[in-house]
Amino acid sequence: MANSLSIKHGLSLWCPQSVSANRVSRPNCFAPLPTTRRSYVVASASFANENREFVIVGGGNAAGYAARSFVEHGMANGKLCIVSKEAVAPYERPALTKAYLFPHDKKPARLPGFHTCVGGGGERQTPDWYKDQGIEMLYQDPVTGIDIEKQTLTTNSGKILKYGSLIISTGCTASRFPEKIGGNLAGVHYIRDVSDADSLISSLEKSQKVVVVGGGYIGMEVAAAAVAWKLDTTVVFPESHLLPRLFTPSLAGRYEELFEKNGVKFVKGASIKTLEAGIDGQVTAVKLEDGSLIEADTVVIGIGAKPAVSPFESVGLNSTVGGIQVDGQFRTSVPGIFAIGDVAAFPLKIYDRVARVEHVDHARRSAQHCINSLLSAQTHNYDYLPYFYSRVFEYEGSSRKVWWQFFGDNVGEAIEVGNFNPKIATFWIDSGKLKGVLLESGSPEEFQLLPKLARNQPIVDKAKLQNASSVEEALEIARAALLVEA
């Protein structure tokens, strides 16, 4: 009774189906939660952080956008502290499996070029920006404990931090292969942060054969980058086609053909038994359950991610979708504590169910909504429309750049229109209503239409869509249905 839409860096929209929404405990998931911000009086020398009114734990996208919102409200200077396990200021994480992995001669992305909030059209927030705004940054010192009654945090180095209001923005951690089957061998990589990406690039520089495990976002984007290095690249996954939680078999086939033309090989329906190593401990091959071997000197594991809830389990978790349970303003069950981004399990208002979304768009929007609710009179609940995208083969010399966007819910019957030369669109129709739409290689105007269609869910003539001679005609049919609804 549950569906899992897993898109972007294992990025997933994981939630129970609408039909089972009534089984979710509404007092825990949808009812307003306490908002009281508790006050405190402390001696200034007692704690390691100087700025104590607001503390953000986590240094990813959501933290960066939350910081911007604090600044916009005039509540950052001398009041906000950000505690991060990373060594750098928050950045636009999607770059790590896209332009960051390009070969050196193809203009790869590098910091400070993609610090937040450039991905959302805002100012580039470099480390100096945080200093100028009076925001205290504690780097490379993850939080390991919380005392809710004392409103204190303990970090890995032993620091004790005080907070008035706490925003948990810890994101996710990569799902890993067990050590006993080779998950920690030299040459085996996982990508969640910039240091991971740096390590992978070091391998790609001297690699000849790359195996990517996983047919989701990580698999597609890393494979597209690896062939730019002119490396022998193979993608292995257990499903029958790429990105099965979003793509239909027909749509996946189009992308698989394009990847194969670019030199990527696929091994479908295959499970990994072990990762083999040489006498030096370096990975040498991927051994499948059927006993066959795929040679590799670099292996990238992209099999999803898990919400990083530790050490905040006591704040209240959602047992269905994982993550920390919040209400429509990102308040947890503990007064003064909030959770945003990938780690938050929130009411997905448009579909009346609880969801946890691992995507940069939600990270940005949830951060802004939470801080606006915390610092202003805003009382309306978060009303998010699921949105996912991918961009690959964008480097110089590529025969074709790929950029698709998806809005809504992939439920019901899928109708595919177009020949993928270059456009193709897929419309999901459920009970006559347009619930979701994916478009490849659309114009800016066409992409702007997609969220309007997905949010308004117009009744569309399915036969007309099926008989459309082009993507443009199909979108006009959908647009006309939207006007009728209006």
What is 262-283 written as a DSSP string? Answer: TTEEEE-S--EEEEEE-TTSBE
| Strand ranges across the sheet with 188-189 | 188-189, 298-301, 209-213, 232-236, 264-267
User: What class has domain 179-303?
Assistant: alpha beta
Return the pLDDT at 486.
64
Q: In the predicted model, is pLDDT for residue 26 greater than 60? A: no
User: What class has domain 401-485?
Assistant: alpha beta
Pinpoint the residues of the chain covered by CATH 3.30.390.30.
401-485
Chain centre distance of CA 228: 24
Pair 379, 38: CB distance under 8 Å = no
Among left, alpha and beta (phi > 0; psi -120 to 50; other), residue 315 is alpha
User: What class has domain 2-173+306-375?
Assistant: alpha beta
| 3-class secondary structure, 67 | helix
Of 30-39, 68-77, 204-213, 284-293, the one with minimum mean pLDDT is: 30-39
- Single-letter code of the amino acid located at 92: E
Single out the residue of 265, 215, 261, 268 nearest to residue 421, CA to CA.
261
163-188 core/surface letters (b: 16 or more CB in 10 A; e: else) = bebbbbbbbbbbeebeeeebbebebb
Q: pTM (2 decimals)?
A: 0.89
Single out the residue of 70, 67, 59 nearest to residue 92, CA to CA.
59
Pinpoint the residues of the chain covered by CATH 3.50.50.60.
2-173+306-375, 179-303
pLDDT per position as a tens digit, 167-193? 999 999 999 999 999 999 999 999 999
Return the pLDDT at 377.
84
Return the pLDDT at 484.
82
Single out the residue of 143, 165, 144, 146 nearest to residue 66, CA to CA.
165
Task: Please give the Cα distance from 391 to 174 (Å, whole number).
Answer: 21
pLDDT per position as a tens digit, 358-404? 999 999 999 999 999 999 988 899 999 999 999 999 998 888 999 99
pLDDT per position as a tens digit, 258-283? 999 999 999 999 999 999 999 999 99
- Number of other CB atoms surrounding residue 343 within 10 Å: 29
Pair 58, 171: CB distance under 8 Å = yes
Task: Please give the Cα distance from 226 to 219 (Å, whole number).
Answer: 10
How many residues does this entry show for the chain?
486
Q: In the predicted model, is pLDDT for residue 36 greater than 70? A: no
